[in-house]
Homo-oligomer: A and B are copies of this chain.
Amino acid sequence: MEIMSVPMETPEGANLIIGQTHFIKSVEDLYEAVISSVPGVRFGLAFNEASGPCLVRAESNDEGLRQAAIRNAQAIGSGHVFVVVVQNAFPINLLRAIREVPEVCSIFCATANPVEVIVTQGSQGRGVLGVIDGLSPKGVETASDVAARKEMLRNFGYKL
């Protein structure tokens, strides 16, 4: 079998969260999970229905992000995959809620990096094999890199 790389489209300032779920109810459940996580969040999400009419199902509170989510889900083309495209919030704010959606099986990535989804094509459909999330490492942090890393997290206020 062949494997192919499908580049995702990430709108300016957005993060993508891509995962595997199992039921059309996920569309509403993911919508609720995201919108109740952060006041003011803007997002679109899409889900590849994998039986019956086989439609890309989508919800959002932002039409542009909904269209971006749909384009990404279509490009992946794999059944039961979902894509969330989110602005004004970060994956760290949303992942707890998305993980608790009862239908969600796993999350392939959550990232603002350029991301490619690795898929394969079988006789009945496509499957996601993995993701290339940003760049490969170029080296190992030194003591001064460690200090800068810790300082950055504390400047953001994330750590004390």
Contact = CB atoms under 8 A, between A and B. Distances in A.
A145 B53 contact: yes
B132 A130 contact: no
Contacts of A110: 22, 103, 105
A125 B118 contact: no
Interface string A90-110: 111101110010111111111
A61 B152 CA distance: 16
Chain A interface extent, by class: 35 or more
A137 B56 contact: yes
B91 A100 contact: no
A70 B153 CA distance: 21
A78 B27 CA distance: 30
Nearest to A5: B122
Contact of A4 (B1, B55, B59): B1
A119 B132 CA distance: 10
Contact of A97 (B79, B96, B141, B158): B96
Interface of A: 1, 3-5, 19-20, 22-25, 27-28, 31-32, 35-39, 48-51, 53-59, 61, 70, 73-74, 77-80, 88-93, 95-97, 100, 102-114, 116, 118-120, 122-141, 145-146, 149-150, 152-153, 157-160
25 contacts: A3-B3, A20-B133, A23-B90, A25-B153, A28-B160, A31-B160, A32-B159, A32-B160, A35-B158, A37-B38, A50-B136, A50-B137, A51-B135, A54-B136, A54-B138, A79-B136, A79-B137, A92-B102, A95-B104, A96-B102, A118-B129, A124-B135, A129-B130, A150-B160, A159-B159
